[in-house]
Chains A and B, each alone.
Chain A
Amino acid sequence: MVPVEWYLLLAAAVFCIGLFGILTRSNALLFLMSVELMLNAANINLVAFSAYWGNVTGQTFGLFTMALAAAEVAVGIGIILVLYRNFDDVDVTLAKGMRR
């Protein structure tokens, strides 16, 4: 059996990739993908610990998180569409109107 540390390292790596994407990219679609990566890093942790403790509750949480991610993507796509309609682009740095 693979020790739980490996899973945690994998999850941390995936999370950092997602975070890096959010911090460095300005494309909204890449944003959305990075967020998905971070969410799934959390999912890996949940499932890993569930297997470690021999308890399926963690896996149930993982299923819920997936459903949540799907809903979030739907909202995110909606926002991106509006962004495109208003700025003719999907660059998040263009939308600065919230400053004032």
Chain B
Amino acid sequence: MVGAFDYAPAIVLLPFLSFVLSLTAGKYLPKGGAFGGIAATAGSLILSAWVFLTVSAGNAYNETLYTWAAGVGEGTTTLTFGLLLDPLAAMMLLIVSLVALLVHVFSLGYMNDEGETGLPRYYAGLGLFTASMLGFVVADNLLMAFMFFELVGLCSYLLIGFWFREEGPPSAAKKAFLVTRFGDYFFLVGVVGVFATFGTAKFAGEAAFPVIAEEALAGGAEVTTFGFAPETWFTILGLLILGGVIGKSAQFPLHTWLPDAMEGPTPVSALIHAATMVAAGVYLVARMYGFYALSPTALGIVALVGGFTALFAATMGVVKRDIKQVLAYSTISQYGYMMLGLGAGGYVAATFHLLTHAFFKALLFLGAGAVIIAMHHDEDMWNMGGLKNRMPVTYYTFLSGSLALAGIVPFAGFWSKDEVLYEALIHGLAGSPLLLAGYAMGLVAVFFTGFYTFRMVFLTFHGEPRTETARNPHGVRWNVKGPLVVLGVLAATVGVVNMVPLHDLTGGFPPEYLHDWLAHGELSALTSEHYGELLHDYAGYTSADVASYVAGAVSLALALAGVLTAHVLYNVADPDEHTAKLGAVKTLWYNNYYQDEYQIWIAESFVLPLARLADKFDQGIVDGVVNGVSSVSLFAGNRIRRIQTGVVSNYAVLLTLGLTALLVVFGVLGGWFV
């Protein structure tokens, strides 16, 4: 077929090669293997761009490449690896490989120039992470997606705990691993459930599970639903898989790992905890949107969780002192928006926000990284101030990212966030109070987003320097500025691909590129057009008539209000800690609503006794039976071995007695003595 698809596996394999190279020969390579990683991700980027162009010509690719467990006979399943390249995957490949490339370049400045040790391990981790994320993106079935999902989690663990000699990072790494794993258990059960129900876990094609599910609901296909009504059972499956999504995309209540993950190196935070890995959860929902669209209950829960998380995380971001913590909570909040968009039936809107967020959040984290280099690894914003004139490139790119995050027109974040809220509004007004609640929470969060984003900008870059370090910051080189400029331009302009309000206002200009991009394709079951029909037919979503520019103006006004509040309070020469006036609320927010505390409380007062009980059962009963059997045999063996005297006469006696006994038995049974 088309050339690009033949090379598509190399997109995944190149970073994997860089991982192997850094791991085995990193010590002997210049820069600890950084160039290998840069070359590999650049190769992936070029191939992804080629795939993107091929896909945009109307092609798609959905092939099984390797069968690693073939089912034999009726009712068995075949487990395979394969590639699925459709518009969504092609777009995501481009995002991931571009951000990965920029992060590799940035790492030269953040890790190499700062004289870190253990660089081969660092670049190996980045390479494996990029490979697994790309593998996850191109996965053509749920099980393969799950495997790469887990690999991504493993890399996150390895990279958060990169500075393992300090106290914080290893514990943060363990927390991230365990919390996401808790969600992944549900995901795994969901994968098994999908296999048991449909006999396949493929995303696309004739026999894909969303297609079978749709037929089953229409009465055209028979599936095993374990005694539930098909609608109920599909909702249960969707919610089980949502468990993994909530863990990975840091949604309430499994979001607690993400702020702690900021213990890792900042480029890692940019790559993993902002732009890509956290996106895996949202991407998974988008990938199997044809399945979620069948269940209004699951969609409602997705939307509610998303809207709540958006507001919940935004409030915590308001009071943080650490620049990376503010960004961490903004990340959680923004992923909440994406979930809200997906739940509200705004497949394109959520995908769009995924795209813009990947760029502006990677930008903000890398900008924060530049600031942290300049501040000699001090991350407290109250020690900064006045960095604007001393590091202009960082300032202007960071500002571009902040405007995008706050959702100020015309930066990328405005267009996408606005569309997410718009979708929630129109579908909510048409008779879904759940979506309206999500919309309301999302709308309030817009204000908070504007406020905390610009509180961060003003505290970091404006006013007078508050410490000696801020007066004489450490300089940064091209390898830090380069990625920042690329992302800064993208954060400002990428909204062009989907300016819905402008499109509606001017009556058709500019075209909604992203809508068109996702609406068509060779795999018609994976297009937003098809999803729209599903939402209408099965989930009962209808749209109310609200002009998109009105909704946009409302959210823009709120965002501006947030920015202005921050401007009044913090854009002065020597700002006070105004959040202190919030009193108890600030304490609550600063301590993250005591989320960690209550989770520890649950663990200690419920899980621990349960685990003890299970341990007792295991040690006492399960092991007891095994140990009992073995000690009985040991004892018996010990006694019986005493007849082995080694004296041949004794053996002769035993032989004779045995023969006699045998004869007597035969005699009695045979009736010789009667």
0 or 1 for each of A20-40: is its CB under 8 Å from B? (1 = yes): 001100100000000000000
A23 with B645: CB separation less than 8 A: no
Closest CB-CB distance, B147 to chain A, in whole Å?
A: 53
- Residues on A with beta carbons closer than 8 Å to the beta carbon of B638: none
Please, how many angstroms separate the alpha-carbon atoms of A100 and B649 in the complex? 17
Inter-chain contact A99/B646, CB cutoff 8 Å: yes
Known contacts A23-B653, A23-B656; A92/B648 CB under 8 A: yes
| B652, A93: Cβ atoms closer than 8 Å | no
In the complex the two chains form, is B649's CB within 8 Å of A98's CB?
A: no
Contact check, B652 vs A22: say whether CB atoms are below 8 A apart: yes
A93 CA / B653 CA spacing, docked (Å) = 13
Contacts of B653 in A (CB 8 A): 23
A96 proximal to B (CB < 8 A): yes
Query: Which residues of A4-47 have CB atoms within 8 Å of chain B's CB atoms?
Result: 19, 22-23, 26
List residues 638-655 of chain B with CB under 8 A from any CB of chain A. Answer: 644-649, 652-653
Q: Is the CB of A96 within 8 A of B649?
A: no
Number of A-B contacts (CB under 8 A): 25
CB distance from A74 to the nearest CB of B (A): 19
Taking the complex as formed, is A71 at the interface, i.e. its CB lies under 8 A from any CB of chain B?
no
B646 vs chain A, min Cβ distance (A): 3
Contact of B646 among A22, A23, A97 (CB under 8 A): A97
Partner of B652 from the list A23, A95, A97, A100 (CB cut-off 8 Å) is: A23
Report the separation of the CA atoms of residues A98 and B646 in the bound assembly, to the nearest whole angstrom.
5
Rounded to whole Å, the gap between the CB of A75 and the closest CB of chain B is 15
Find chain B residues with CB under 8 A from A92 CB: 647-649
Report Cα–Cα, A69/B653, bound state, in Å.
22
Number of interface residues of B (CB under 8 A): 9
Q: How large is the interface on A (under 10, 10 to 19, 20 to 34, 35 or more residues)?
A: 10 to 19
B645 contacts A95, C-beta separation under 8 Å: no
Q: Are A93 and B649 in contact (CB under 8 A)?
A: yes
Residues of B within 8 A of A96 (CB): 645-647
A100 to B644, CA, bound (A): 9
In the bound assembly, the distance between CA atoms of A13 and B539 in angstroms comes to 100
B652 / chain A contacts, CB cutoff of 8 Å: 22-23
- Give chain B residues whose Cβ lies under 8 Å from the Cβ of A98: 646
Residues of A within 8 A of B649 (CB): 22-23, 26, 92-93
The proximity string for B residues 625-647 relative to A, scoring 1 for CB distances below 8 Å and 0 otherwise, is 00000000000000000001111
Tell me the complex Cα distance, A67–B648, Å: 25
**Residues of A with C-beta under 8 A to B644:** 99
User: Which residues, 461 to 518 on B, are CB-close (under 8 Å) to A?
Assistant: none
* Beta-carbon contact of B648 and A93 below 8 Å: yes
Give A3 to B652 CA distance when docked, in angstroms: 33
**Shortest distance between the CB of B639 and any CB in chain A (Å):** 15
With both beta carbons as reference points, the residue of chain A lying nearest to B648 in the complex is identified as A92
A19 CB contacts on chain B under 8 angstroms: 656
Question: Which B residue sits closest to A92, measured CB to CB?
Answer: B648
B residues near A99, Cβ cutoff 8 Å: 644-646
Q: Compute how far the CA of A92 lies from the CA of B652 in the bound complex, rounded to whole angstroms.
A: 12
The residue in chain A whose Cβ has the minimal distance to the Cβ of B644 is A99
**Residue in A19, A23, A97 whose Cβ sees the most chain B Cβ within 10 Å:** A23
Tell me, in angstroms, the Cα distance from A97 to B645 when the chains sit together.
9
Docked CA distance A19–B660 (Å): 12
Residue of A nearest to B647 (CB): A93
Which residues of A sit under 8 angstroms from B648, Cβ to Cβ?
92-93, 95
A57–B183 alpha-carbon span in the complex (Å): 84
Please, which residues of chain B bring their CB within 8 A of the CB of A93?
647-649
A26–B646 Cα gap in the complex (Å)? Answer: 13
A97 vs B653: C-alpha distance in the bound complex, in angstroms? 19
CB distance from B531 to the nearest CB of A (A): 77
Q: How far is the CA of A86 from the CA of B322 in the complex (A)?
A: 88
Considering the chains assembled together, what is the distance between the CA atoms of A78 and B656 in angstroms?
25
Which residues, 43 to 71 on A, are CB-close (under 8 Å) to B?
none
User: In whole angstroms, how far apart are the Cα atoms of A98 and B405 in the complex?
Assistant: 86
* A22 partner residues in chain B, CB cutoff 8 A: 649, 652
> How far does the Cβ of A76 sit from chain B's closest Cβ, in whole Å?
12
Can you name the residue of chain A whose Cβ is closest to the Cβ of B659? Answer: A19
What's the nearest-Cβ distance from chain B to residue A99, in Å? Answer: 3
- Expressed in whole angstroms, the Cα–Cα distance for A26 and B648 within the complex equals 9
Output the nearest chain B residue to A22 by Cβ-Cβ distance: B652
- Which B residues are CB-close (under 8 A) to A95? 646, 648
Q: Give Cα distance in the complex from A16 to B500, angstroms.
A: 112
A91 smallest CB distance to B (angstroms): 10
A93 to B648, CA, bound (A): 7
Q: Closest Cβ of chain A: how far from B462's Cβ, in Å?
A: 89
**A39, chain B: closest CB distance, angstroms:** 15
* Bound CA–CA A99/B650 (angstroms): 12
Residues of A within 8 A of B (CB): 19, 22-23, 26, 92-93, 95-100
Q: Supply 11 A–B pairs (Cβ within 8 Å), ascending by A.
A: A19-B656, A22-B652, A23-B656, A26-B649, A92-B647, A92-B648, A93-B649, A96-B645, A97-B646, A99-B644, A99-B646
> Which 5 residue pairs of A and B lie closest in terms of their CB atoms, listed nearest first?
A99-B646, A96-B646, A92-B648, A93-B647, A98-B646
Known pairs A22-B649, A93-B647 / 17 extra A-B pairs, C-beta < 8 Å: A22-B652, A23-B649, A23-B652, A23-B653, A23-B656, A92-B647, A92-B648, A92-B649, A93-B648, A95-B646, A95-B648, A96-B646, A98-B646, A99-B644, A99-B645, A99-B646, A100-B646
